[in-house]
Amino acid sequence: KDVLAQFKPGYVLMHTQGAPKTMQKNPCYDDVVGEVMAFFERGLNDLVKAGLPEDRLVLDPGIGFGKLLAHNLALLNGMERFLALGLPLMIGLSNKSLWGQLMELQPDQRHNATQAATALMAAKGVGIHRVHEVESTRQTLHVAQACLVPQGNGGKEVNG
């Protein structure tokens, strides 16, 4: 925290349960969304008290990091709750194993699931996406934004 307070870089506060070598061995939560929210609140409090400005922080729920399929889906369903903290949200969904678990897809078959979930998370307010297929995701987010933002009809009547 001392280095963060001294240099004040951008910082992604990401949730994970356990260390990388053991995090997928029986992860357990009573309320994964509530527990990740509490982690964010504690982490934000600690970092701000240490001197890191809040506007340098981004929150990442850590999809796939110490979480089972049900935990990941609960986080995706409850993503809007994290917006209450007033900070940008980041998510990494690109070709994750959760898509393989959900639909029995191999890594090279997970692109459509990644793009659909990315569009849904953008609609929920997630503004930063870690991806592998940059051009496909750019197109996905462009379409999502166009569908979410009222474009108006230029005063013309639109017939079904």
Active site residues: 96, 130
- Quickly tell me which residue has 């729920």 as its tokens: 61
Helices then strands (H, E): number in the chain?
A: 7, 4
- Quickly tell me which residue has 């029995």 as its tokens: 104
- C-alpha to C-alpha distance for 27 and 98, rounded to whole angstroms: 14
- C-alpha to C-alpha distance for 136 and 144, rounded to whole angstroms: 12
- Quickly tell me which residue has 């001392």 as its tokens: 2
HSE-CB for 140 with a 13 A CA cutoff: 22
Amino acid at 133: E
Alpha-carbon distances of 47 from 36, 82, 83, 120, 142, rounded to whole Å: 16, 17, 18, 30, 34
- C-alpha to C-alpha distance for 59 and 125, rounded to whole angstroms: 12
